[in-house]
Amino acid sequence: MVSIRSILTGAVAFLASSITADTTTPQQVAGDINQLAQKSQALQGTAHNITALNAPLIMLEEGPFRDLVAGYTEIIQSGKKLISDLDGFGPIAGSDADQIYTAFHEFAAASQALHQILIDKAGILLKIPIISQPVTTVMLLQEAVIDGIALLLINATPAKADELNATAHSLDATLQQCVAKFYSIAI
């Protein structure tokens, strides 16, 4: 079983690693964030399909939880790429900052909706603790990526820093609630 400490250590090491950036436009950043939102929205249907009957299929590398973990992994990989693109990005103001904030806000809303579905589904999984570890692991990795993106966006768009910070905190709170639900299943 992977410990939370090792997950967080890996996430911190990832975020602290040296990343090089090329020239990235605000439109590209907003587009990349919109893709993260679309991926989160696509996973909502998968999350809705989770039942006590199909959840254990993850042990056979089948079912909605396999798809959920794969989807989260895709979001994490795309988020890592975005972090590398954001290194050295900014400062951005005006309509470009508005566009980036809107995209991040929509991503946060899609992610929060996904996490709320999973929070609601966690209750049916109390007798299937094996599921919690892979789901909790990808959620913690996603949290590290989201935190990295949010921090870089806040630094790159000072005019929207307060709004980005509030949105990031709201998303983080929902994600932490979801992680706590799944973590409690394992105990």
Residue 84 near residue 19, CB atoms below 8 Å: yes
Q: Is the pLDDT of residue 6 over 80?
A: no
The reply to whether the predicted model has a pTM over 0.95 is no
Number of residues in the chain: 187
> Which one is predicted more confidently, 88 or 43?
43
From the list 175, 105, 107, 184, the residue with the least C-alpha distance to 144 is 175
Q: Which alpha helices (H) appear in the chain, and where do they start and end?
A: 4-16, 26-48, 63-86, 94-122, 132-156, 161-186
* pLDDT tens digits for range 78-112: 999 999 988 888 788 999 999 999 999 999 999 99
Q: Is the pLDDT of residue 122 over 50?
A: yes
Give the C-alpha separation, 150 to 49, whole Å: 30
Q: Is the pLDDT of residue 20 over 50?
A: no
Structure tokens belonging to residue 79: 């988020």
* pLDDT tens digits for range 137-162: 888 888 899 999 999 999 999 999 99
Structure tokens belonging to residue 153: 């966006």
Give the C-alpha separation, 178 to 85, whole Å: 28
Residue 36 near residue 75, CB atoms below 8 Å: yes
Residue 37 near residue 110, CB atoms below 8 Å: yes
- The reported pLDDT for the residue numbered 75 is 94
Number of C-beta neighbours around residue 4 at 10 A: 12
